Structure 1
Amino acid sequence: MTETARPLRRDAQRNRERILLAAHDVFASRGFAATLDDVAHHAGVGVGTVYRRFPTKEALVEALFADRLEDLVSLAEDALALPTGWDGLTMMLRRSIEMHAVDRGLRDAALCIGIDKHHFAKVGEHLVPLIQDLFDRAHAEGSLRSDVGINDLPIIMATVTDLARHTPPDRPAIFRRFLGLIIDGLRADPANGDLGPAITQADVEAIVDDCVPPIEARQRHKN
């Protein structure tokens, strides 16, 4: 009986790894708008096999992206180690957007698009203070315009990565061009005009939540 159980456990592990690899490919190209059916098809397994390993898409998303989001925490730590807040902030912005531009799943996970925010709350608890430190340093040294804050960052990231999604793969210079324009606009300058009311957390959530319908709503619509 033990000898019979062991191959089943190995098969289960192989199926789990196959599903995770397929989910990486599917979410990278389609973001969280992809379904578990899409993942099952790409993995070459029945959708029932996917549901046995991951009863909801959110469970699959957590398994796939929790560790990868920690890479953003490491990136922010590296950014804080640079000589100036401006260097750190712009390095964080450029590298994170490069990461998200080639992986829509990572982008959706980082911005919590189409998934409840509590799933990655622990990562946010580590990441947000680090990014706030970058903004504070850049403001203190006078390199970052004073009317730009941390709530502007997700909007910038969503805008440029969405542009990258519509940019031909062989023309990455297009979205990098506009990222460069945005970074230049972040610099403190006596000639800067008034940007108007500051972006609030509620503004960010309303804009990001509108990018992709919640997973539960899509599943109900599909059913």
Structure 2
Amino acid sequence: MRRDAVERREKLLDAAEIEFALRGISTPLESVAERAGVGPGTFYRNFPDRQALLDALLDRSLTRMESRENETDSVYSTCELIEHIAQNLVTSPVLSEYWRSAGRDSRMATLARERFIRIAERCLADGAKKENLRHDLIAEDLPLISSMLGAILCGRDLKEREKIKERALSLLYTGLLSRD
């Protein structure tokens, strides 16, 4: 893909995150194109429909997690991964809506979940003992933890979501720590 095309696609994804955060995932796609400063044709060449746009947003989020590992040559600690998820719920709640709208039968959602589980496996393998986490914590628990953190979305604004995030993490860490 040409560099300008990659940049335009990234601009569209950035615009989608903003529009979806402000108006929800049902906002008109033309609003996303307008915010990105492109016409509808350019938008639809990149993303034929809303689902393709949401899939691309999810892919980008997971790629960023994976890239961080490659750039720093270290995996997230389990707690860092959980905090990353919580912060995304505060600042970019659109991916949570995606998970709810995609459903269990979505091939892309299934592949994304598998990628997320692989990231979680690396986190647990690298840091379970260092972080004093409970011995029965498994990678498949991380999507459940992510769902539990979904309570952050109850906040009416950024400040309230941040407050809920702090309390949810406090309660969650109490349950994740080893009792040994």
The offset of 1:70, in angstroms, is: 0.5
Cα–Cα, structure 1 residues 30 and 17, in superposed 2: closer, same or farther, change >3 Å? same
Matches within 5 A, 1:51-200: 54-75=47-68, 81=74, 88-109=77-98, 112-115=99-102, 117-119=106-108, 124-140=113-129, 143-171=132-160, 172-190=162-180
Cα–Cα, structure 1 residues 80 and 176, in superposed 2: closer, same or farther, change >3 Å? farther
Matches within 5 A, 1:10-89: 20-31=13-24, 33-35=25-27, 38-41=28-31, 43-44=33-34, 54-75=47-68, 81=74, 88-89=77-78
Please, what TM-score do these two structures have when normalized by structure 1?
0.56
C-alpha contact 1:19 1:39 (8 A) present in aligned 2: no
The one-letter code sitting in structure 1 at the alignment partner of 2:150 is: T
The offset of 1:165, in angstroms, is: 4.1
Please, what TM-score do these two structures have when normalized by structure 2?
0.67
Cα–Cα, structure 1 residues 174 and 78, in superposed 2: closer, same or farther, change >3 Å? farther
- Unaligned runs of 5+ residues in structure 2 are 1-5
CA distance in 1, matches of 2:113, 2:44: 28
How many residue pairs are counted as aligned between the two chains?
Answer: 170
C-alpha contact 1:70 1:123 (8 A) present in aligned 2: no
RMSD: 4.0
CA distance in 2, matches of 1:137, 1:73: 15
CA distance in 2, matches of 1:167, 1:76: 33
Q: Secondary structure at the match of 1:113?
A: helix
The offset of 1:98, in angstroms, is: 0.6
Look up the match of 1:215.
none
The offset of 1:21, in angstroms, is: 4.8
Cα–Cα, structure 1 residues 92 and 178, in superposed 2: closer, same or farther, change >3 Å? same
Report which of the two structures shows the higher radius of gyration computed on alpha carbons: 1
